[in-house]
Structure 1
Amino acid sequence: MNKIKIMETCLRDGHQSLMATRLTTAEMLPIIEKLDSVGYHSLEMWGGATFDAALRFLNEDPWERLREIKKRVKNTKLQMLLRGQNLLGYRNYADDIVERFVKKSIQNGIDIVRIFDALNDVRNLQTACEATKKYGGHAQLAMSYTISPVHTIEYYKNLALEMQEIGADSIAIKDMSGILLPEVAYELVKELKSILRVPVEVHTHATAGLASMTYIKAVEAGADIIDTAISPLSGGTSQPATESIVRAFQGTERETGFDLELLKEIA
């Protein structure tokens, strides 16, 4: 099997989860080149609450943050989180606004757009997905994970197939509450890998103390990419520590090849 790929979340979900998205651009820029040299699959550094927090609390231009980071990143894809038809706001927007926002995001440096709808309504993903592909980006469609009598393995399999059908370049399992159990992750990833043509990424949070175990089982089942955060911005409501996950897979067929000394310098 191929090496497991890692998406680093410290520039977006890590500090959004632990610090109310208050890292400033100036605090990020000194470490960008080192992050770029690690070998990550991508750096998640935009979208989610970063847009709102930059404007509302930090008196910053979020577009300038994107451009400044892009200037410094030569080897790693930049990734963002987009709320489907809601973009980065808290209401739905017209299709032409969605298309133009996605276009400008890609033009300013975004490579991968992770698109989700909190209720898994694929209709709210379609415009953003089409726009991402139209302007040369990678459209990753994310399934919002929860537990209920309705949300079965079969439900997520059908949802993933529907997402693939509308053009998803990859599929993410987005476990924002950290409730995806290790054995369920194994079964879900295994089933998805058996029916999908596109890569599968797993995103979870350490909130319930399950995340590292969940990642190990997901990788055993064939997950292509997992999301981690460098140790100072890991744990709690964030993701598992990048260093710990890298070490856990050393000596296995899925090892990352990352330099732990470099990760230590970054931390």
Structure 2
Amino acid sequence: MNKIKDVQFTETVLRDAHQSLMATRLKTEEMLPILEKMDKVGYHAIECWGGATFDASIRFLNEDPWERLREIKKRMKHTPLQMLLRGQNLLGYRHYADDIVDKFIEKSIENGIDIIRVFDALNDSRNMEACVKAVKKYGGHVQLTICYTISPIHTIDYYKKLTKRLDELGADSICIKDMAGILTPFVVKKLIPAIKEVTSLPIEVHTHATSGISEMTYLTAVQVGADIIDTAISPFSGGTSQPATESLSIVLTELGYETHLKKDILEEIADYFKPIKDHYLKEMILDPKMMTVDPKALIYQVPGGMLSNLYSQLKQANAQERYEEVLREVPKVREDLGFPPLVTPMSQMIGTQAVFNVLSGERYKMIPNEIKDYVRGLYGTPPAPINESIRKIIIGNDEVITGRPADLLEPEFEKQKKEIKAIAKTDEDILIYAMFPQLGETFLKEKYQSKKIINKEVIRINAVM
């Protein structure tokens, strides 16, 4: 008798699903009432933090991301909590010194994170080293990531060698992260067996429904040995998000796999999120355009979150009609710059450069500082050499560094602590400031000022009573 194969599910609704569909606008108060039910489903993990949630919480929602994590953990007694971390970039958009990386991971685990999925936008494993060391130090599970992309150099052999490096670096599991929904069944059928030749670690597959092939990719991935898949509860599934949790659970169960998911509770969770989705549709925060399948993703290789950001940039510039033109420019810029995978922060950087190239009417007339730093080697080594003529346009004869970028950085936690000591009350506050100095300082001032106002009001009321 054949042994029933387990397929584990990681639920993304609290992080990547709403990040991909509506720029990470789900509020903590909308999450909390359903968490205890989610904890009973039988998920392998719930991805609830990291990625853009930290930034969006303080920038748009006036919420403390650390407080969100603590509140989620209070209600999640059984299911591991997972976060997405951008390697040496943490949750910001630059490389941070190793002491900041260590402190951030210490506090993430202390406040409730169990699994930290670490990726580097260039698949440069040197930019994951400090993260691995810290996660091991503080007792977490470190999942190292292959950012999947397509180019002449991103071959099966390339991914096989990368997997071997990540295994040797100390990964507890490996994630194949397909940001753009371009991992086809044909490729995954070759990729996973090849990876399993060089590692015995659990393999998780993450994709998006953007191009319309995600369910087929997951089914094939499971058939050839994937252990875990990432899905989103149905109201926040599809389009630029992940495929639906319930649908895949039903199909895989019928095929003889054990998913460990309680389908009756999944229905209750879906019913809870339906009116929340309707609210955001009505408020036009969730753009219906992001809910539709776009096979052009297979051509342009643009991730869902990047699609929504590009559209938003063009909308602000009153140039929505140039959306397709920008999409065509993205792969050209990517080729010029050494075929970096389109994942944060590279997706934003490449996307912004493509927008500038189209709107200015001249390629590389306007160049963001981040692109200049990337070309100088400050983000790591590009997968392929940068076009020499483009390099000269961007940085002239400036030196290009070849070492680990973080080796150039002095320890900075104590410096950040001194700068914000008049406002910050905890290490978590200091880390908010370290990630986003101006935004963080404003947020912390408002956070503690509003608490003073509330406390004075409570004193006044008590005095009257």
2:130 is matched by which residue type in structure 1? T
Preserved CA contact (<8 Å) 2:141 2:172: yes
Show the 5 A alignment for 1:1-267.
2-267=5-270
Shift of 1:195: 2.1
Mapped partners of 1:125, 1:236: distance in 2: 30
Name the SS of the counterpart of 1:51 in structure 2.
helix
More strand by share: 1
The one-letter code sitting in structure 2 at the alignment partner of 1:238 is S
SS at match of 1:195: coil
Q: Which SS does the other structure have where 1:34 is aligned?
A: helix
Moved over 3 A (4+): none
1:51-84 C-alpha deviation (Å, 9 max, x unpaired): 0000000000000000000000011000000000
State the Cα distance separating 1:2 from its structure 2 match: 3.0
1:187 and 1:4 map into 2 onto residues whose CA distance is 19
Q: Deviations 1:164-219 (Å, cap 9, x if unpaired)?
A: 00100001000000000012112111111232121110000000001110000000
Q: Write the letter of the residue equivalent to 2:98.
A: D
Q: Which has the higher contact order (CA 8 A, sep 6+)?
A: 1
What is the distance in 2 between the residues matched to 1:33 and 1:194? 39
Q: Is the 8 A contact 1:157 1:192 kept in 2?
A: yes
Distance 1:261 1:43 in 2: 18
- Shift in Å, 1:129: 1.0
Q: What is the CA RMSD across the aligned residues, in angstroms?
A: 0.8
The answer on whether the counterparts of 1:3 and 1:253 sit within 8 Å (CA) in structure 2 is no
AA aligned to 1:206 is A
| Separation in 2, partners of 1:188, 1:53 | 34
- Which one has a bigger Cα radius of gyration? 2
- SS of 2:55's equivalent in the other structure is helix
Percentage of identical aligned residues: 65
In the alignment, the residues of structure 2 paired with residue 176 and residue 102 of structure 1 have an alpha-carbon distance, to the nearest angstrom, of: 23
Contact 1:98–1:128 under 8 Å retained in 2: yes
* Residue 108 (structure 1) shift: 0.4
- When the two structures are superposed, what TM-score results if normalisation uses the length of structure 2? 0.57
Which consecutive residues of structure 1, in runs of 5 or more, have no partner in the other structure?
Answer: none
255-264 or 96-105, which moves further after superposition? 255-264
Aligned to 2:220, the other structure's residue is in SS state helix
Higher helix proportion (structure 1 or 2): 2
Judge which range, 244-253 or 50-59, deviates more: 244-253
Question: Does structure 2 conserve the Cα–Cα contact (< 8 Å) formed by 1:173 and 1:202?
Answer: yes
Aligned pairs, number: 267
Conserved in 2, the CA contact under 8 Å of 1:170 and 1:198? yes
Cα deviation per residue 1:128-163 (whole Å; 9 max; x = unaligned)?
011011100000001110001100111001000000
**Secondary structure of the equivalent of 1:254?**
coil
Distance in 1 of aligned mates of 2:164 and 2:256 = 28
CA distance in 2, matches of 1:165, 1:250: 35
Mapped to 1, the partners of 2:180 and 2:165 lie a distance apart of 23
* 2: CA distance, partners of 1:2 / 1:33: 27
Where does the alignment leave 5 or more consecutive residues of structure 2 unmatched?
271-465
